[in-house]
């Protein structure tokens, strides 16, 4: 065997091992029981909820990659008492929906009509082709399912993170999956281009807080209770007040970043995707100023 070929073979084997190890690491899931029949899964991507029923599992969100979806499906079937009966996507972002292709069979996939629109336009390249598991049930305001003695209520409460985010209420268990309308102790992503709104976010969460639940699964961060959700609601109201004040005063973005003082984000963590996105105080202040000043508006 020639030296050059051996060297290439070694490189290829190392690359395969590296990719395999990375895939294994990314497929790893942590889970905790939020209530008797509701579990939260955490990994690379948004938090996943699994509801156990007498007929099988119901899954909310599927993380970032198809192989993560496969791992979620396997664990959901173990925790949920049987095959996955339905998937709900809280919104279109890849870290909550790109695991959909990892689900075999043909479960019902639920999302709002606006989320499906964003998948087919803003994320069209990913969703082309067969087996992508696009939502096959969409709704405008509310959709309810009864599976294995459990009531699953999907609700569109209004604009915030995007203009299509749903929340999922597991009625009997009194658990809410809030998706990315709630980042627990983290600075949120605010997708103004997809119809998100800092201005309307707090009012949207006021409508969510009218629902009957005790525990909350956020899109990112640890599971919490109503008080945790209410604290985030108050932060979003404060953020809008600051952005509106800066825009009304005619401040530039640079001055806004220098002068804005937030008080309700103590202990918030930054989330970062290197070279792509950094969710920190400057990001959320910038988004509030952009909306208030009209510098950024939603795409059609």
Residue 145 has pLDDT above 80, yes or no: yes
pLDDT at 15: 33
Residue 103 has pLDDT above 90, yes or no: yes
The CA distance from 121 to 130, in Å, is 17
Let me know the angle formed at the C-alpha of 272 by 90 and 160, rounded to the nearest 5 degrees. 35
Residue 23 has pLDDT above 80, yes or no: no
Q: Yes or no: is domain 26-224 CATH 3.10.580.10?
A: no
Backbone dihedral region for residue 129 (phi beyond 0: left; psi -120 to 50: alpha; all else: beta): left
Q: Work out the number of other CB atoms within 10 angstroms of the CB of residue 262.
A: 16
* pLDDT tens digits, 201-210: 999 999 999 9
* pLDDT tens digits, 229-261: 999 999 999 999 999 999 999 999 999 999 999
Q: What is the mean pLDDT of the chain?
A: 91
The CA distance from 291 to 219, in Å, is 23
Per-residue CA distances from 223 to 20, 41, 147, 178, 226 (Å): 31, 10, 24, 10, 10
The CA distance from 297 to 287, in Å, is 11
The CA distance from 243 to 295, in Å, is 12
**Residue 107 backbone phi and psi in degrees, to 5:** -70, 160
pTM of the model: 0.91
* pLDDT tens digits, 263-286: 999 999 999 877 778 999 999 999
Q: What confidence category does residue 18 fall into, taking pLDDT thresholds of 50, 70 and 90? A: very low
Q: 115 with 89: CB under 8 angstroms?
A: yes
User: Which of 188 and 18 is assigned the larger pLDDT?
Assistant: 188
Transcribe 180-235 into DSSP letters: EEEETTBPPP--GGGT--HHHHHHHHHHHTTS--SEEEEEES--EEHHHHHHHHHH
pLDDT at 7: 40
Mean pLDDT of 4-33: 50
């Amino acid at each position: 065997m020639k030296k050059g070929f051996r060297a290439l073979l070694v490189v290829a084997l190392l690359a395969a091992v590296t990719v395999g190890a990375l895939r294994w690491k990314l497929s790893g899931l942590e889970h905790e029981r939020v209530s008797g029949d509701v579990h939260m899964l955490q990994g690379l991507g948004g938090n996943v909820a699994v509801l156990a029923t007498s007929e099988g599992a119901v899954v909310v969100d599927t993380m970032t990659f198809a192989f993560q979806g496969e791992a979620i499906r396997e664990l959901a079937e173990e925790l949920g008492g049987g095959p996955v009966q339905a998937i709900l996507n809280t919104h279109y972002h890849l870290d909550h929906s790109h695991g959909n292709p990892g689900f075999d069979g043909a479960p019902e996939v639920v999302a709002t009509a606006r989320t499906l629109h964003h998948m087919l336009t803003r994320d069209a390249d990913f969703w082309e082709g067969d087996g992508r598991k696009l939502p096959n049930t969409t709704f405008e305001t509310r959709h309810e399912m009864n599976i294995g003695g459990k009531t699953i209520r999907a609700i569109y409460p209004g604009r915030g993170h995007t203009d299509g985010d749903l929340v999922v209420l597991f009625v009997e268990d009194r658990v809410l999956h809030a998706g990315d309308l709630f980042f627990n102790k983290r600075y949120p992503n605010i997708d103004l281009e997809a119809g998100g709104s800092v201005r309307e976010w707090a009012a949207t969460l006021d409508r969510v807080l009218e629902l009957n639940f005790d525990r909350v699964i956020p899109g990112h961060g640890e599971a919490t209770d109503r008080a945790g959700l209410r604290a985030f609601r108050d932060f979003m109201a404060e953020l809008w007040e600051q952005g509106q004040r800066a825009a009304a005063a005619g401040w530039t973005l640079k001055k806004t970043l220098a002068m804005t003082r937030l008080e309700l984000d103590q202990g918030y963590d930054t989330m970062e995707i290197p070279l792509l996105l950094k969710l920190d105080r400057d990001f959320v202040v910038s988004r509030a100023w952009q909306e208030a000043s009209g510098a950024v508006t939603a795409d059609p």
